[in-house]
Amino acid sequence: MSTVRPSDPAAPASLDLIVNGRAVSTAGVATNTTLLAWLRANGLTGSKEGCAEGDCGACSVLLVDRDTAGQATYRAFNSCIALLPMFAGREIVTVEGLAQCGADQKQLHPVQAAMVEHYGSQCGYCTPGFVVSMFEAYYRDGCQEPWQISDQLCGNLCRCTGYRPIRDAAVAALGRRSAQAPTLQPIILPRDCRPRSARPMRSTTRSARRNSSGPHRCPVCSPCSRPTRRPSSWPARLRSAWS
């Protein structure tokens, strides 16, 4: 019968991976260590822990794969719920590894420059995660339409700026890679509009449709089935403001 309790750390293991273009060995690290914890313990503190359950996106980093032509492809994922041994022999890029543009390889990447130009950062805690998601989108051919851009950013939460300056930065960055930036509709967020991960799924019943103007549709959280009340049911002060 084993004497090892479930709460005991796993036995240390040794594995190799590539981080921001450099080969790294992780000798003596417990197998139940998350990738985020290991990165931060080794000085790569750009990735943050916001929720520790893969919801806020502050811990986002990139996994590098190669297509059939040998070109790099990028996939953003949450490092707070990924264990370090899962990436043995793989290549990881963190936010610290993105500013390698220009002749001196020290210039900001276009998505980082766009975040600066459009004031997409306030407290800065969520910024690295957003930048990583935008970096992935920058190299995806299928991220051009407004709904595709919104879907790309929906896994990252911001509690300071609102999402408009961040989305504007994404549109600007993606527009620079092509001759014409996508045409976007203005965003109007209802007060009860919450992130998809925090909003329960509801179906709009027939009675709900009779008593409402239908589900609101916004570019960020659409499709959303939360009914919006008719202005006629609002207080007089709000009805006058609406009109």
Q: What is the mean pLDDT of residues 119-124?
A: 91
Question: Do 72 and 121 sit in the same domain of this protein?
Answer: no
Task: Give the model confidence (pLDDT) of 76-96 as tens digits.
Answer: 999 999 999 999 999 999 999
What are the φ/ψ torsions at residue 79 (nearest 5 degrees)?
Answer: -80, -10
Q: What is the pLDDT of residue 167?
A: 93
Domain membership of residue 188 (yes or no) is: no
Confidence of residue 188 (pLDDT cuts 50, 70, 90): very low
Q: Of 148, 176, 204, which marks where a domain is finished?
A: 176
- Number of Cβ atoms within 10 Å of the Cβ of 60: 28
Domain membership of residue 6 (yes or no) is: no
Question: Do 17 and 75 sit in the same domain of this protein?
Answer: yes
Domain membership of residue 203 (yes or no) is: no
Spatial distance between the Cα atoms of 165 and 163, rounded to a whole number of angstroms? 6
Q: For residue 115, which of 88, 142, 93, 95 has the smallest C-alpha distance?
A: 95
75 vs 204, residue with greater confidence = 75
Question: Do 151 and 89 sit in the same domain of this protein?
Answer: no
Confidence of residue 11 (pLDDT cuts 50, 70, 90): low
Question: Do 133 and 83 sit in the same domain of this protein?
Answer: no
Domain membership of residue 136 (yes or no) is: yes
66 phi-psi bin (left φ>0, alpha ψ -120 to 50, beta other):
beta
Q: Which of 94-103, 116-125, 179-188 has the least mean pLDDT?
A: 179-188
User: Which residues in the chain belong to E strands, given as ranges?
Assistant: 12-13, 16-19, 22-25, 29-30, 60-66, 72-78, 91-93
Q: What is the mean pLDDT of residues 13-23?
A: 89
Domain membership of residue 68 (yes or no) is: yes
Tell me which residue range forms the domain holding 220: 212-243
Question: Do 21 and 83 sit in the same domain of this protein?
Answer: yes
Domain membership of residue 79 (yes or no) is: yes
Spatial distance between the Cα atoms of 216 and 226, rounded to a whole number of angstroms? 7
Query: Exposed, middle or buried, 66 (CB in 10 Å: 0-12/13-18/19+)?
Result: exposed
Q: What is the pLDDT of residue 162?
A: 78
19 vs 211, residue with greater confidence = 19
The whole-model pTM stands at: 0.67
Question: Do 145 and 220 sit in the same domain of this protein?
Answer: no
Q: For residue 190, which of 160, 158, 224, 167 has the smallest C-alpha distance?
A: 224
The domain tally of the chain equals: 3
Question: Do 143 and 81 sit in the same domain of this protein?
Answer: no
